[in-house]
Amino acid sequence: MTMRITAQPGIMDIALYQGGASKIDGQAEPLKLSSNENPSGCSPAASAKVAETALNLHRYPSTDHSALRVAIGQSHGLDAQRIICGVGSDELLSLLAMAYSGPGGEVLYTEHGFSMYRIFALSAGATPVVAPEADRTVDIDAIIDRLTPATRLVYIANPANPTGTAIGLDSLRRLAQSVPPTCLLVLDGAYAEFFEGYDGGASLVDEFDNVVMTRTFSKLYGLGGLRVGWAYATQEVIDVLNRVRGPFNLSSVALAGAEAAVNDRAFVETCLQENAAQRVRLMGGLNQLGIACDPSHANFVLARFADEAEALAADAHLKHEGILVRIVKGYGFPEALRITVGRSDDVTRVLDALARFKGVS
Ligand code: PMP
């Protein structure tokens, strides 16, 4: 009998990540509202810095990311020593599972939680456990109910993807108080800036030793292509993550671009105002067309149709008009489409297209 090399248990249970399409067959430049990217691009200062840094690609990048960590720390009022940078927040979310869970451990997240949480749990050899949500919103009591002595890690995205719903710091604090000290509570703040008055959970990191906050440059900062994220945690957790990450995980262009982006406050303030205004228009327009949506605290809206057939027909109609949105069946919403909040003209275009789909105009 020939012996064959096989992957660790759990790996073959992972379904490949289903990313959003970026093209529509036969259409040159679709209006892409499928990946929650910044419709205004990124800070011009960041692009310029990336171009300048690209002239010196023969040099290895910094291993300790100190300049970027200091810039993030200053901008957010946090201790730079307790910040770690990663290849998107994805890398840090994954390293947390790898370092703190494993065979025999459980990783808990909610029903419609970000699809990568299951992948991170299985990759680490841990058992994924899912808590139900209430009205498409994270339900703290349901999570507390499913905590066991084997729970090593709880992932919560706040605001959540793909629902756009969010819960307040008081609810998160109640969860932090219930999570045993042997378990990490990971607050995924990929969309934190869009939730007005929310600090991404940074204050809870300061209150509880087992709370970690992750953030990203991919959404508000418009740097999805650069792949930069960061986490804020206790010195102990940061030390653990630094041991398991690659020494040169972030490229020199990524480090330089992100540093310039975090220092361009004016750009992100303008983007935040634009998102808030256009999100109201998008939600209001959908409601007027009889398409349900929960109040979103992110840069996208989950548009719920009558059923899966209507959602698929709406998606096909939007594609026909050159607009790409996201099918979220994989997240447990076959009847819904996730639409990124665009600029004013984009919102007008998607609402007009949906009005034609509904036969309203
Ligand atoms: N968390 C959530 C909830 C997300 O939606 C995403 C991106 N889709 C991420 C984390 C990862 O983002 P990135 O790796 O680009 O920082």
Of all residues in the chain, the percent with pLDDT exceeding 70 is 99
* Average pLDDT of the segment spanning 67-89: 98
The arithmetic mean of pLDDT across residues 128-156, rounded, is 98
Q: pLDDT tier at 16 (50, 70, 90 boundaries)?
A: confident
The CB of 324 under 6 Å from ligand 1? The reply is no
Fold of 19-41+266-357: Aspartate Aminotransferase, domain 1 (3.90.1150)
d(CA 84, CA 235): 10
Contact between 222 and 37 under an 8 Å Cβ cutoff? The reply is yes
Q: How far is the CA of 193 from the centre of ligand 1 (A)?
A: 13
Confidence of residue 28 (pLDDT cuts 50, 70, 90): confident
Domain ranges in the chain with CATH number 3.40.640.10: 44-263
pLDDT tens, residue by residue, 166-187: 999 999 999 999 999 999 999 9
Amino acid at 332: G
Q: Which candidate, 300, 358, 308, places its Cα nearest to that of 333?
A: 308
218 lines ligand 1 (CB under 6 A): yes
| Parts of the chain belonging to CATH 3.90.1150.10 | 19-41+266-357
Per the model's pLDDT, the better-predicted residue between 27 and 105 turns out to be 105
Question: 């719920």: which residue's tokens?
Answer: 304
Report the pLDDT averaged over residues 61-72: 98
Which pLDDT does position 17 carry in this prediction? 78
Could you give the percent of the chain with pLDDT greater than 90?
92
Q: How confident is the model at residue 1 (pLDDT cuts 50, 70, 90)?
A: low
With 90 as the cut, is the pLDDT of residue 195 above it? yes
Segment 27-56 shows an average pLDDT of 95
In whole angstroms, what is the distance from residue 256 CA to residue 58 CA?
15
CA of 20 to the centre of ligand 1 (A): 13
Whether residue 113 has pLDDT greater than 70: yes
> Is this prediction's ipTM beyond 0.95?
yes
How many whole angstroms separate alpha carbon 235 and alpha carbon 243?
A: 12
Interstrand relation of 151-157 and 106-110 (parallel, antiparallel or unpaired): parallel
Distance 60 CA to ligand 1 centre (A): 26
The whole-number average pLDDT for the span 232-243 is 98
pLDDT of residue 47: 98
Answer yes or no: is the C-beta of 190 below 6 A from any ligand 1 atom.
yes
pLDDT average, residue stretch 73-82:
98
Instruction: Report pTM.
Output: 0.96
Rounded to whole angstroms, how far apart are CA atoms 90 and 224?
A: 11
Q: What is the CATH number of domain 44-263?
A: 3.40.640.10
pLDDT band of residue 66 (cuts 50, 70, 90) is very high
Average the pLDDT over 187-197 and give the result.
98
